[in-house]
Amino acid sequence: MKYRLFCAAAALGAVFCCGMIPEAILAKTPAVEVAAVEAFEVQPEISCTGVIEAENSCRLMAASGVVMEELLVTEGSLVEAGMPLARVRPQSSVESPFLICDPQQSGAVFGGYSSEQLAALAALQGVDPSMVPEDLEQLTEGLSQLSQWEMPSEEIISAPVSGKVTQLTVKEGQYLGPGESLCTILGNDSYLATVQVPADEVDKISLGDTAEISGGEINDQHLSGLVCQISSTVSKSLQGTALVSMVDVGVRVYPQQGQTIRHGAGIQCRILTGEPRQCLTVPYECVQQDDQNQEFVFLVSQQGLSAVPVTTGEELAERVEVSGSLNPGDLLAVTGEIPEQYLLTKEGD
């Protein structure tokens, strides 16, 4: 038994000797674990990460002071362009020189006049509205002119784009001053994913390349898009402890019916570059190296095991691309160690 183990070790030593891979058959048909060589279509791609945002979004802000009379939508409502969002009562008119009254006093009545009327009269008489109602006597002359001014009627605010209502924080009866936000509508017809690609790989990308997008923040959906932007600016990004040159690439995504995307979600992206190509793949465990780092596999045949030189390429899940004298369907030994009983020993054993 010791002699057989020694011979096995010697045979294995021959495999690694001087970096040469023996072409001789090493054993008779062994009962070792085997795996098949498989044909595989490789799609050249670049993997990257980024953020996806609604492309046609808008924020609605008050141009002048308004009171929110009625909200016709809620947070998360899906609206079409032109659909009513809210009914508001303007507090001033762009055609009128009248000052806007203090929103804290809106609706209060002094001496039979509303604060809006008093503010209008104060403007006509050149009186500081903050003095109302103490200076009510000075406004008497303005009563005859008050009938010439009418508070603007109620107005309907409509959605300028189709999409999802977000950031709706106002309540009915609330006053919105100029520049204050009513809500934001995130367009749902298209989204733009901005991803970061290493600068040394961006030359492989062309406008119109297909991209596949996924990520936990978009509910594990798989979205398709097209590259629509390639920035000409290079920025530095910290990857681990090293600064890496990166370029922003834009991918336009058109969601399918039923797909929902959160604005600002983090995503993973695969940009498909070039045409698919055919290759052969084997499990990682099949590939061995000699002491000169030459890679090889053990090909299984009826005669036994023979070592076949290979060159590895892309890593594909649990398999690796190989090139060499192999064909689809060839059986390879899944090696760690080849059991010594399957290696050549002294003739006659």
The span from the CA of 279 to the CA of 305, in Å, is: 23
pLDDT for 107 equals 37
Reported as a single tens digit per residue, the pLDDT across 262-314 is 888 899 999 999 888 899 999 999 998 888 889 999 888 877 788 899 999 88
Model confidence, pTM = 0.54
- Of residues 29 and 333, more confidence is placed in 333
Reported as a single tens digit per residue, the pLDDT across 88-109 is 888 754 433 222 233 333 333 3
pLDDT above 90 as % of the chain: 30
Predicted confidence band of residue 58 (pLDDT cuts 50, 70, 90): confident
Distances (CA, A) of 256 to 57, 77, 123, 189: 18, 18, 55, 9
pLDDT for 196 equals 95
- Of residues 177 and 339, more confidence is placed in 177
3 contact partners, CB below 8 Å, separation of at least 6: 345, 346
Question: The tokens of 65 are what?
Answer: 């002071």
pLDDT for 150 equals 53
235 contact partners, CB below 8 Å, separation of at least 6: 245, 246, 247, 248
Backbone angles phi, psi at 302, to 5 degrees: -65, -25
Q: How far apart are the first and last CA of the chain?
A: 11
Reported as a single tens digit per residue, the pLDDT across 20-56 is 444 444 445 456 788 999 998 888 899 999 999 888 7
